[in-house]
Amino acid sequence: MKIEFSKFGERLCLGSGIEELMDDLGNALAEGGDDMIMLGGGQPAHIPEVDAIWRKRMEEIMRKPGNLEAMLGNYDPPRGTPHFLKAIAKMLNQHFGWDITDKNIAITSGGQTAFFFLFNALAGRMSDGGRKKILLPVVPEYIGYANQSVGEDFFKAYKPIIEEVGDHQFKYRVDFDAIEITDDIAAICVSRPTNPTGNVLTDNEMKRLADLAKQHNIPFIIDNAYGAPFPNIFFSEANPMWDEQVILTLSLSKIGLPGTRTGIVVASEEVAAAVSSMSAIVGLANNNIGQALMRPLIESGEILTISNDIVKPFYKQKSLQAQQWVAEFFPEDLPYRHHVSEGALFLWIWFKDLPISTRELYLRLKDRGVLVISGHHFFFGLEDADADWPHVNECIRVTYTMPAEVVKSGLAIIAEEVAMIYAGE
C-alpha cells in the first residue's frame, strides 16, 4: 500500500535535518562501539551530585503513600500541575522581581514541543491568506527549530557581525543595521545562551530586540533552556528579562532531567492559555514526573543552589578545560578561532578558508572515530545570497560534556585532521 501524505505529513513524516542528524549519530555510535568519541550531541553530563538529588527525590516520593501512584497514574491538567505552576511563578517573582501568576505559565512535553506550538501558532499561513515568518536576528541558531513548520519554511534570518577577539577567538553580534521588521514578521526569536555557539547576547542587544518587538507589536521569544534561574549555565554577565511582550521558555533538560521531557512557557495569559489548549489537543496532558521531582526544590529554593553551586561551576570548568586543550593541540599558525564561551555546553570552532566543507570534515572525523556536528545545519533561514556565505561551511560544534579523557582525545584528533587538510593531505 502506498501512503499519500498531506502537506502536514510531507513536512513531518518524510525526514528532517534534525532527524537525519540524530539518526546518523546514533547509527555511527552503534557501528563504532565503545571506541566512538561522541562530541556531537547535546546530552547533558551526568553530574554525580545532581544525579544523587534525583535519586533522593524519587525515594522521597516512593516513601509517602500515594505519591508514586499519583505521579504515574493520574492525568495532569493540560496547563500543568497547579502547585508546580504556582511554585514557578513565586520563584520567578521573588528572584527577578517579576509580576506573574500561574496563569502566565504553561507546561509542555519538552522545550522542542513548546517551540513547535509557538512557531506554528504565530507564523505560517494566516486566516487572511497571507503568510508570516519567525525572525532570527542572528544565525547560527538551534537546529531543532529548522523543520518545525507544518507548512512552508517560515524563518527569516540575518548574518551576524563577527568580532575577532585575540588571536584565536571571536564573537557574533547582532547586525541591527541589517534587520528589517516587515509586516510579514510574526515574532522575533533568540536562544540565550545560544545553541550551538555558546554566545550570550548582551543585555543591550536583548533590550534593543525587545524594543523592536514592542515597536511592531509582535512577541519576542527567548529560548532560555541553558539560562537563569536554572540551569544557569551562564559564564558571562547576563540578566534574564520578561514582560507581556516576551515569551520565555525554560526546560528541565539541562539541569539534568532530559528524560522527563518538561518544558515551561512563561508568557502573557493569552499565550499561556493557547499553549495549554494545544497541549490538550495534541497530547491530552504532559509528563508529571519532572514536575513532581522538581516542585519541592523550587518551593525551597534549593534548585537555585543546585544551579549556581553545582551545575554552573561544573560546566564552566569543562569549558575552560576544553579551551585549554584546543590551545594545546591546535597549531598556533592554524587559521582557527573558537567562539567566546559564554554559556551552554559547546565549543563552536571556525576554520577560516577551510579547503573542504565542514560536512566533508565531519565525514573524515567520523572515519577516525570522532563525531562532531557540521555547522552548516545551523544556518537556516538566510536569503539565497547569504546562504552562499563561506562561513556557513567553515564551522563545527563540539560538545564538552563527555568525560575529560573523551573530550581531550577527540580534540587532539580534530586538530591533527584539520592540520592535514590545510596541508593538502
Do both 284 and 360 map to the same domain?
no
Q: Quick one: average pLDDT of 199-215?
A: 97
The average confidence (pLDDT) of the chain is 92
**Alpha helix segments (H runs only) across 330-397:** 358-367, 384-387
Do both 232 and 349 map to the same domain?
no
pLDDT digits (tens, 9 = 90+) for 10-42: 767 766 556 655 665 556 555 555 678 999 888
CATH number at residue 355: 3.90.1150.10
Whether 293 and 230 have beta carbons less than 8 Å apart is answered as: no
pLDDT of residue 217: 97
pLDDT digits (tens, 9 = 90+) for 47-99: 999 999 999 999 999 999 999 999 999 999 999 999 999 999 999 999 899 99
Q: Which of 151-155, 159-163, 206-210 has the lowest mean pLDDT?
A: 151-155
Residue 354 domain-assigned (yes or no) = yes
Query: How many angstroms separate the CA atoms of 333 and 415, rounded?
Result: 12
Q: With bands split at pLDDT 50, 70 and 90, how would you rate the model's confidence at 184? A: very high
Domain region containing 341: 7-49+306-422
pLDDT of residue 34: 61
Whether 425 and 343 have beta carbons less than 8 Å apart is answered as: no
pLDDT of residue 30: 58
Do both 255 and 329 map to the same domain?
no
**How many structural domains comprise the chain?**
2
C-alpha cell of residue 421: 587538510
Question: 39: which residues sit within 8 A by CB, 6+ positions away?
Answer: 370, 371, 372, 398, 399, 400, 402, 406, 407, 410, 411
pLDDT at 246 over 80: yes
What is the β-pairing status of strands 220-223 and 246-251? parallel
Task: Answer whether 0.95 is exceeded by the pTM.
Answer: no
pLDDT digits (tens, 9 = 90+) for 311-346: 999 999 999 999 999 999 999 999 999 999 999 999
* Residue at grid coordinates 516576551: 246
CATH number at residue 188: 3.40.640.10
Q: Is 12 exposed, middle or buried (0-12, 13-18, 19+ CB in 10 A)?
A: middle
Q: Which of 282, 301, 320 is the last residue of a domain?
A: 301
Q: Which is more confidently placed, 1 or 282? A: 282
Q: Quick one: average pLDDT of 377-385?
A: 90
DSSP letters, 71-86, are HHH-PPPTT--HHHHH
For the chain, what percent of residues have pLDDT higher than 90? Answer: 84
Do both 45 and 132 map to the same domain?
no
pLDDT of residue 19: 62
Q: With bands split at pLDDT 50, 70 and 90, how would you rate the model's confidence at 404? A: very high
Q: Which of 301, 317, 337 is the last residue of a domain?
A: 301
Question: 130: which residues sit within 8 A by CB, 6+ positions away?
Answer: 184
**Alpha helix segments (H runs only) across 284-346:** 289-300, 302-305, 312-329
Query: How many angstroms separate the CA atoms of 36 and 314, rounded?
Result: 24
Do both 99 and 240 map to the same domain?
yes
Do both 41 and 133 map to the same domain?
no
Count of CB atoms situated within 10 Å of the CB of 203 = 13
Do both 265 and 397 map to the same domain?
no
Do both 283 and 402 map to the same domain?
no
pLDDT of residue 16: 59
pLDDT digits (tens, 9 = 90+) for 87-120: 999 999 998 999 999 999 999 999 999 999 999 9
pLDDT at 399 over 90: yes
pLDDT of residue 18: 63
Q: Quick one: average pLDDT of 185-197?
A: 97
Residue 287 domain-assigned (yes or no) = yes
For the chain, what percent of residues have pLDDT higher than 70? Answer: 95
pLDDT of residue 8: 74
Query: How many angstroms separate the CA atoms of 349 and 140, rounded?
Result: 12
- 45-52 long-range CB contacts below 8 Å, 24 or more apart? 45/314, 45/315, 45/318, 45/345, 45/401, 45/402, 46/256, 47/256, 47/310, 47/311, 47/314, 49/310, 50/255, 50/256, 50/306, 50/310, 50/311, 51/256
Q: Which of 250, 268, 301 is the last residue of a domain?
A: 301
Do both 150 and 297 map to the same domain?
yes
DSSP letters, 315-326, are HHHHHHHHHHHH
